[in-house]
Chain A
Amino acid sequence: MDQTHIKYTLSWAAMAAMGFVLIFMAQMVGLIGHYGVTTIVLIGINVIAALGLNLVVGISGQFSLGHAGFMAIGAYATALIMAVMPGVMGFIVGMVTGIAVSGIVALIVGIPTLRLRGDYLAIATLGFAEIIRIVIMNLKITNGPAGIFGIAPFVSWQLVYILAVITLIIVVNFVRSMPGRAIIAVRDNEIAAESLGINTTKYKVIAFVLGALFAAMAGSLRASFIQSIAPKDYAFMQSIMILIIIVIGGIGSMSGKVITAIALGILDTLLQNFGSLRMVIYSVILIVVMLIRPQVIFGSRELSLKKWLFDGGDGHDTDHTENA
């Protein structure tokens, strides 16, 4: 713990606090209305989901197309528990239950499927997410395709902001911990990592389960914010939306993800005025972005405050910036 490190941590904390104060001020002055707040909350929820998926796709290099399934578990657990247990307590218990159930499901799904590689894993996770959706669509308790309405709103932008920051802190620290480094080793060269005694399946499962926990949290926040949920909100498309944030933000880059989520959130709000042309424009932008920058906007680079503020700092920062 040298002094630069403390300064560095403090400046990140200051930046997070500044963002909070800025939004607060803007809302007070009336710069962002109801619409703006909605955008901010949805961006925050996407950041949480994307950081979770980033652990699976970016950090452990496993290709998952089933993130929406775990979001659905979080959302439905919250909605169902809040129906029998109104109030803030219900929301908290619902979210915790959703996260726990999602983690257990991820564990059950992950242990057999993570032995598969690359595209096969992608297909298997896609299959699981679709199964979760079809089951939700046909159960009585989840009210079938119509979904659940009138979920009590307990989500404010403040809550989402704080949870997104906490998620970021957890994910960044996890990546730099011992299991995190083991996961990166598995991604970079599975065979080499295995021959050095790393239990590859175990670490892949850890990343997968953690990713599912954050997905459930995002789903739970969304359920209470939008106040209604339906199975179609958690189709293949939703997994893809989160995946797009990850890919455009640069596989592995955390700051890239946050910035992309913000940019896409704003883009989405701007495109609302175009009505049915909205998705057409969105898909064209998507293709053009891919064609112009195939190595994808951020690559694995991080926005490094250390480089800005402390002129490169000393030796130990390089390994963080290169780790993705």
Chain B
Amino acid sequence: MTLFIQQVIKGLMLGSVYALLALGYTMVYGIIKLINFAHGDIYMLGAYFGYFFIKVLHLNFFIALILAMAVSAVIGVLIEYIAYRPLRHSPRIAVLISVLGISFLLENGMTYLYGSDQRSFPQAIKTVQYHFYGIQVSNIQLIIAVTSVVLMLLLTYVVKRTKMGRAMRAVSADPDAATLMGININHTISFTFAIGSALAAAGGVLIGLYYNSIDPLMGMTPGLKAFVAAVLGGIGIIPGAAVGGWLIGILETMVQATSFSAYKDAVVYAMLIVILLIKPTGILGKNKREKV
């Protein structure tokens, strides 16, 4: 039983990072119906910025986290401005290729500049283990869980209570009507990319701290899995991304604890296919009738 709880805690921790990434996917998809495959690479960039701020500038971990989020947000906005905005009225497959081009560019650009080797992420915070009734929790795990939850609450506040958040919901519901109501669609989309990228960067820095290693291709698999999480929870639905992220995290840690650990990623994808076949709109999704 303690082993089980131990795994659930580990899964929730990993799931929080997937959830942070999935939020970016789901918001971007909700607003411009684009699968942003470059999102996992923003997560990688975030980790590298965190590395830079801590290792080179010797900043405090939390300041480095916030700075990495800010810089990644700017990069996310720039990417949208350069590579996605000019293609907004083109066939969706053309935008998709542009997205993949950006993804390749970030991965290979970082490999070219800094090499493909893994780097060890600085131990900005000393690991301390706590024990409760036989269950072991480290302070790093707590930091990851708390930071993720705080960021998610902050996001909920922004989306639900602020003017920009209302604009985001309006554009996602009906872009044309939103324009007629005087909402600047371009600003709203830029804002969405900024938030999504900042959350991804936070995930990257947190994972860097936890696993101690970063490399230019670290975003590929978590990116795909976070996307699975977004679909699982219902793509376009913000609480869905969090639910999906935690479920995927727990599922993955559970499989890893069994003898099928080599198949942990396959199980995640199989789960995705099952969900798509049973309820394509996701756990929290509503069914939409198709009109002729």
Contact = CB atoms under 8 A, between A and B. Distances in A.
Contacts of B17: none
A124 B276 contact: yes
A112 interface: yes
A247 B94 contact: yes
B273 A113 contact: yes
Given A138-B263, A247-B93, A287-B83, A280 B112 contact: yes
A63 interface: yes
Given A251-B91, A290-B87, A283 B101 contact: yes
Given A131-B266, A279-B108, A291 B83 contact: yes
B111 interface: yes
Nearest to B235: A119
A15 to B, nearest CB: 29
B247 to A, nearest CB: 16
B102 interface: yes
Nearest to A235: B220
B104 A282 contact: yes
A293 to B, nearest CB: 9
Main secondary structure of the interface of B (DSSP, over half): helix
Contacts, number: 118
B134 interface: no
A174 interface: no
A123 interface: yes
Contacts of B83: 287, 290-291
B51 interface: no
Contacts of A20: none
Contacts of B224: 126, 130, 236
A8 interface: no
A63 B35 CA distance: 13
Contact of A295 (B35, B90, B97, B107): B90
Contacts of A287: 83, 98, 101-102, 105
A168 interface: no
Given A112-B277, A138-B263, A291-B98, A123 B105 contact: no
Contacts of B231: 120, 123
Given A138-B263, A247-B94, A131 B269 contact: yes
Interface string A262-290: 00000000000000110110111011001
A276 B111 CA distance: 8
Interface string B203-235: 000000000000000001000100110010000
A57 B108 CA distance: 27
Interface residues of B, number: 41
Contacts of B32: none
Contacts of A83: none
A193 interface: no
Interface string A242-275: 0110011001000000000000000000000000
A6 to B, nearest CB: 37
Contacts of B96: 247
Contacts of B94: 247, 290, 294-296
Nearest to B33: A119
B222 to A, nearest CB: 13
Contact of A116 (B97, B108, B265, B280): B280
Interface in B251-292: 262-263, 265-266, 269-270, 272-273, 276-277, 280, 290, 292
B182 interface: no
Contact of A127 (B97, B101, B272): B272
B124 to A, nearest CB: 30
A92 interface: no
B236 to A, nearest CB: 11
B102 A280 contact: no
Contacts of B270: 127, 131
Contact of B265 (A57, A130, A191, A283): A130
B35 A243 contact: no
Contacts of A134: 262-263, 265-266, 269
A240 to B, nearest CB: 6
Given A283-B108, A286-B104, A127 B86 contact: no
Nearest to A279: B108
Nearest to A282: B104
A73 B8 CA distance: 36
B273 A290 contact: no
Tell which of A127, A134, A135, A243 has the most Cβ of chain B within 10 Å.
A127
18 contacts: A113-B276, A119-B33, A120-B231, A123-B227, A123-B272, A127-B272, A134-B262, A134-B269, A135-B266, A191-B292, A280-B105, A280-B109, A286-B98, A287-B101, A290-B101, A294-B86, A294-B87, A294-B90
Given A134-B266, A247-B94, 15 more contacts: A57-B93, A63-B93, A120-B231, A127-B270, A134-B269, A191-B290, A247-B96, A283-B105, A283-B108, A286-B104, A287-B101, A287-B105, A294-B87, A294-B91, A296-B94
What 4 A-B pairs have minimum CB-CB distances, sorted nearest first? A294-B90, A283-B104, A279-B108, A127-B269
